[in-house]
Structure 1
Amino acid sequence: MKYIKFFWRFPKITVFFIMVVEIMLYFDRGVIASLLPHVKSNWGLNSIEEGAIASVFTIGFMCASPMWAHFGLRYRINKVIALGTLIFALGAFSSGFWLSITRGRIQKWAYYPFVISRFMVGFGESAMISLAYTIVDELAPPEYKTLYMAAIMMSPSLGIASGYGFCGVLVDLTRNWQIIFYLESAVALTMAYLCLYTPFHGYKRLLLKQAKAPAVEFPSVALPDITMPHQEEAVSELSESTSIISHKDKPIIHSVTSAIPPLVKNPVYLSIVAVSVIYGAIVGALTFWCPTYLQERLSVYDISEANINKLSNLGFGAIVFISSVFGTALGALVLDKSGGAVGWRGVMRAMYQSFLYISIALPFGFVVFIIRDGALLNVYGLFALFLIAMFFVLCIAAPFQVALNNCVPPELRHFANAYQTFLLHALGDFPSPTIFGFIKQFSNITVSMLVMWGMLIPGLCFLLLAGTLSLYNDRRNKPIK
C-alpha cells in the first residue's frame, strides 16, 4: 500500500515508469529488425517467410488493442497491463527458445512456433500501448498534459534505437545472439511484477468513487407566510424540513461494440484518427524505404559504396532520433505554454498548431525529393533539409494524441485510443511499405517518395477540419460527447 501511495503522490514517477516499460516493449522491435538477417539465415527463409514475422506481430498487436481497452474498464488497469507484459515476456522467451534449439533448413519446422511467439509478443505489447495514453492524460496536471504525453511519444524511437544499437554490439561480441530474447523476457517479467504496485486507477475506479459519493442535499428553505387560500393549498404538503435530493446517473462503462457508435458520430475524433493514419503511413514508409532512397541519392556524390551504406543508415537514424526527441518535445511545450489541449478550445489549438507544423515541413520535404542535382544540393544540404522536414512532422505527435483524448468523454478514452491504434496500423504503417513498393516497382523510388510525402496535403485538410469543428463546438458551448 505504501508503494501505491508513493506512486500516486508523485505522478511524474508513474509516467517515468510507463515510459521505461514502453521503451522496453519497443526495444524488441529494434531487436527483431537488427536480427532479422540472422533469423533469415538461421532457417534459410525466403522473402515471404521473412516478411510474415513482422506481419504476424502487427496482426497480434492490432487485434488485441480493443480487447485490452475493454478489460481496462472492467478490471484494475495495473493488473491488465501486468497480464499483457507477462504475455510479452513469454513470447520473447519462446522466440529465443525456438531459435536456440534449431538451426538450418532441416529444422525449419521451428519457424512456425517462432511466428506464433512473435504473435504473442505483439498481443501482449498492445496492453500497455493501448492504455498508456489514457493513464498519462489522467495523471498529468492540465498545464503539462502535452509535455507528459510527449515523454510517452518519445519512447518508441528511444526503444527501437536502443534495441538496434544493443543488438549490433551483441552480435559482434558473441555468436549466441539469441540470448537477447531471454534478457528481454527477464526485464519484462520484472516490469510485469512492478505494474502490480503502480496506481493505474483508470476511469472505472473514478466512476465507482463518484457513484459511492453521497447524494447532493440542498438546504431547506423556510416557507413564506401564506395569506391566500389557493397558495396555502399549493404548498400544504411542504414543510420546513423538506429537502430535495439529486439522482446520479449510473456510471457508463462501454463494451468493445457499444463504444463504436458514439465514436463514429464524433467528427472531430474521426478527423484526428484520419490524421494519425496518414501520419502512420508516412512514418512506416519512410522507415522502410528511406535508407534505400538515401543510398540512391548519395550515389550521385563522390562517395564510395561502403561509405554510402554507412552514411545512409547512420544519417537516417540520427535524423529520426533527433526529430523524435526534440521535435516531439517542442510541439508539446508550445501547446502547453499556449494554453494546453483541454476542452474544445484546447483541441482547436492543438489542431491549428499541428496544421502550422505540417505546412512548414511540406516544402522542405518536396525540395529533398525533387532536387536530384548534386551541384544544387550537396550532402550536408540534403540531410539538413530532411532533418527540418522530419522535425516539424514529428512536432505534431504529442498535440494530436492529447487532442484525441480530450475530444471524447472520459468513458470512451480507452476505446478511442484502442481503435485509433488499430486503424493506424491496419490502414497506416502496416500496408504503406507494400503500397509504395508497388509504386516504386512501376515507376521509380523518387516518384514513390513524392507520392508518400504528398499524403501530408490531405492530412492538412483533416487538421483544418478538426480545428474548425472544435472552434464551432467551443463557440456554442457544445459538451464533449
Structure 2
Amino acid sequence: MIENLPPEKTGMSFKTEINALQRRSGYKWELLALLWLAFFLNQADRQIFSVVLPLIREDLGLNDAELGLIASALVWTYGLLVPVAGFFGDRFSRKRIIGFSLVFWSIATLSTGFCTTLIQFVLLRGIATGGGEAFYAPSANALISQHHKETRSFALSLHQSAVYIGIILSGVIAGYIGETYGWQNAFFVFGAFGIIVGVLVFMRLEKDMPAAGSEKTEILKTAAIIFKKPTAILLTAGFACMVFVNVGYLTWMPSFIATKFNLSLAEAGFSSLFYHHVGAVIGVLVGGKLADKLSLKDRKARLLLQGIALLIASPFIFWMAAAETQFFTYAALFIFGVFRGAYDSNIFASLYEVVPVQIRSSASGLMLMCAFLTGAFSPYMLGILKPTLGLSLGLSLLSIAYVIGGVLIVIAALVFFKKDKIEFQ
C-alpha cells in the first residue's frame, strides 16, 4: 500500500524539486502569501451573492426558494468536482491547477454581473464559479503542507484566515458597491481583481512536480486507502456538519440581520459577517499554534481540539438567531466564530495525520466533496422554510449539526486514531 512506501520511493524528481525550492530563502512564506490572497478571493467571490441578494431579488423578482437554489447550485457543483480536483492535484502541476482555477472562477464572477435570469445565475454563479473554485483548495492545502512541516497547523491556519477576512471585506465592499453603483458592479470589481491575482500566481509560484511522483495510483485504489480508515470517515462526517451550518449561515444571515434590525445592506453585510469572522481569525490562529504544540506530545490532540470546539460553539449558533438585541446577537456570533476558527485550524492537518503524502490532495478532494454535497442543501432548505417557520428558528436549529459533528470527531480521536495514524509525514 502507498502509506507503507519508504520516502525514497516517492520519486527522485519530486525530492529534487523540493530541495531546489528550499534553496530559495523564504519561498514557503511567499507561497503562503500568494495562496492566502487567492483564497481570500475564493471566499469573497462566493460571498458577494449573499450580500447583494436583496438587491437581486428586488431587481429581477426572484423568490426565496430560487435564490436559495442559486446558492445551492454553487455548492453542489463544488462538491461534485472537488474530488476530481483532488486527484488532479496529486498528478499534475499544482501551480497550474491553482492559477487556471483562479482565473476561471474570476471570469465567471465577472460574468455574473451580466445575469438577468434564474438559469443564467445557476450556470454562471452556480456551475461556472463553483466549478472553478473546486480546483483550488485540494492543491493549495497539499502544497502548503508539503512546504511547511513543523509549522503545518500554523501555516494552514494562516491560509484559513483568508476565508474570514475575505468574507468580512466582501460584506462591506460588495454591500457598498451594490447600494451605490448597482449589484452588477460588485461582481465586476471582484472578478477583475481575481484575474490580476491569477497572473501573479503564474509569475511567482515555482514549477512543481506531482506529489505522487512515479506512483500513479488509480483513483479507486486511492479512495479505498482513504475510506478504510474510520478516522478519515468520521473527520469527513464532522466536516460535513460544519459546512452544512456554514453555508446556511453565510447565505441567509445578512438578509436575516437586515430584516430583524432594519439595517441597510452595507450595515447588515458588515454586522452579520464581521463579528463572527473576527472571532474566527482569533480562533484559527490560536488553534493552529496550540495544536502544533499539543500534537508534539499526543498527535490526536488536533482531533480532540476540533471536536471540543464544535461542541462548545453549538449553543452560540442557537443564540445568534434567537437573541432579541443586536448586542447579544453579535456577541453570540463572535463566540461562535472563535470556536469555529479553532475547528478550522486543523481541518486538513488532522486529515493528513492519517493519509500519506502521496494522496493528500486526493484525500482533501474526497473530504470536501462529501462535506459540500451535504452542506449544499442548507441554503435551499432554509429558503423553503423561511415563509413558514421563519429564518430565526431555521438558523437556530443549525446548532444540532455542530453537536453531531463534535461527537463524531471525538469518537474518531479516542477510538480509531491510534490504529489509523501514519508514521511517515
Q: Is TM-score (shorter-chain normalized) higher than 0.5?
A: yes
- What is the match of residue 237 of structure 2? 274
User: How much does 1:478 deviate?
Assistant: 6.5
SS at match of 2:220: coil
SS at match of 2:246: helix
What RMSD over aligned residues (CA atoms) do the two structures have, in Å? 3.5
* Structure 1 residue corresponding to 2:407, chosen from 456, 461, 466: 461
The code of the aligned residue for 1:259 comes to: T
* Structure 2 residue corresponding to 1:352, chosen from 293, 298, 304: 304
The code of the aligned residue for 2:159 comes to: I
Higher RCO (CA 8 Å, separation ≥ 6 residues): 2
SS at match of 1:257: helix
User: How much does 1:392 deviate?
Assistant: 1.8
SS at match of 2:282: helix
Q: Distance in 2 between matches of 1:386 and 1:180?
A: 25
TM-score (norm 1): 0.73
The code of the aligned residue for 2:362 comes to: F
Is 1:65–2:73 an aligned residue pair?
Answer: no
User: How much does 1:38 deviate?
Assistant: 3.6
SS at match of 2:166: helix
Q: Alpha carbons of 1:10 and 1:59: their partners in 2 closer, same or farther (altered >3 Å)?
A: same
The code of the aligned residue for 1:34 comes to: V
Q: Distance in 2 between matches of 1:472 and 1:5?
A: 32
* Structure 2 residue corresponding to 1:22, chosen from 39, 52, 55: 39
Q: Distance in 2 between matches of 1:365 and 1:51?
A: 20
User: How much does 1:276 deviate?
Assistant: 0.3
Q: Distance in 1 between matches of 2:423 and 2:81?
A: 31
Q: Alpha carbons of 1:443 and 1:170: their partners in 2 closer, same or farther (altered >3 Å)?
A: closer
Point out the more displaced range, 186-195 or 145-154.
Answer: 186-195
User: How much does 1:44 deviate?
Assistant: 3.6
Q: Alpha carbons of 1:285 and 1:13: their partners in 2 closer, same or farther (altered >3 Å)?
A: same
Q: Quick check: 1:92–1:185 contact (8 Å CA) kept in 2? A: yes
- What is the match of residue 396 of structure 1? 343
Q: Alpha carbons of 1:266 and 1:182: their partners in 2 closer, same or farther (altered >3 Å)?
A: same
How many equivalent pairs are there?
405
Q: Distance in 1 between matches of 2:65 and 2:314?
A: 34
SS at match of 1:259: helix
- What is the match of residue 235 of structure 1? none
User: How much does 1:4 deviate?
Assistant: 7.2
Q: Deviations over 1:165-186 (max 9, x none)?
A: 21233235435x5344344343
Q: Distance in 2 between matches of 1:53 and 1:467?
A: 37
Q: Alpha carbons of 1:186 and 1:436: their partners in 2 closer, same or farther (altered >3 Å)?
A: closer
Task: Map 1:404-415 to 2 at 5 A.
Answer: 404-415=351-362
The code of the aligned residue for 2:158 comes to: A
The code of the aligned residue for 2:33 comes to: F
User: How much does 1:192 deviate?
Assistant: 2.6
The code of the aligned residue for 2:414 comes to: T
Task: Map 1:87-126 to 2 at 5 A.
Answer: 87-96=104-113, 98-99=114-115, 112-118=119-125, 119-126=127-134
User: How much does 1:18 deviate?
Assistant: 0.1
Q: Alpha carbons of 1:128 and 1:382: their partners in 2 closer, same or farther (altered >3 Å)?
A: closer
Q: Quick check: 1:26–1:156 contact (8 Å CA) kept in 2? A: yes
Q: Alpha carbons of 1:25 and 1:289: their partners in 2 closer, same or farther (altered >3 Å)?
A: closer
Q: Quick check: 1:408–1:480 contact (8 Å CA) kept in 2? A: no
Is 1:324–2:280 an aligned residue pair?
Answer: yes
Q: Quick check: 1:436–1:452 contact (8 Å CA) kept in 2? A: no
Q: Deviations over 1:23-66 (max 9, x none)?
A: 12222123222333344444443445433432332233222212
Q: Distance in 2 between matches of 1:130 and 1:173?
A: 37
Larger helix proportion of the pair: 2
Q: Deviations over 1:387-413 (max 9, x none)?
A: 324322331111232111221011221
Q: Alpha carbons of 1:7 and 1:172: their partners in 2 closer, same or farther (altered >3 Å)?
A: farther
Structure exhibiting the larger radius of gyration computed from Cα positions: 1
* Structure 2 residue corresponding to 1:178, chosen from 181, 184, 196: 184
* Structure 1 residue corresponding to 2:221, chosen from 258, 282, 306: 258
Q: Quick check: 1:323–1:394 contact (8 Å CA) kept in 2? A: yes
Structure 1 gaps of 5+ residues are 100-107, 209-250, 299-304
- What is the match of residue 452 of structure 1? 398
Task: Map 1:222-233 to 2 at 5 A.
Answer: none
What percent of counterpart residues are identical? Answer: 16
User: How much does 1:266 deviate?
Assistant: 0.9
Q: Alpha carbons of 1:442 and 1:146: their partners in 2 closer, same or farther (altered >3 Å)?
A: same
Q: Distance in 2 between matches of 1:93 and 1:443?
A: 35
- What is the match of residue 248 of structure 2? 285
* Structure 2 residue corresponding to 1:153, chosen from 147, 160, 164: 160
Point out the more displaced range, 447-456 or 131-140.
Answer: 447-456
Is 1:53–2:70 an aligned residue pair?
Answer: yes
Task: Map 1:346-385 to 2 at 5 A.
Answer: 346=299, 348-363=300-315, 380-381=327-328, 383-385=330-332
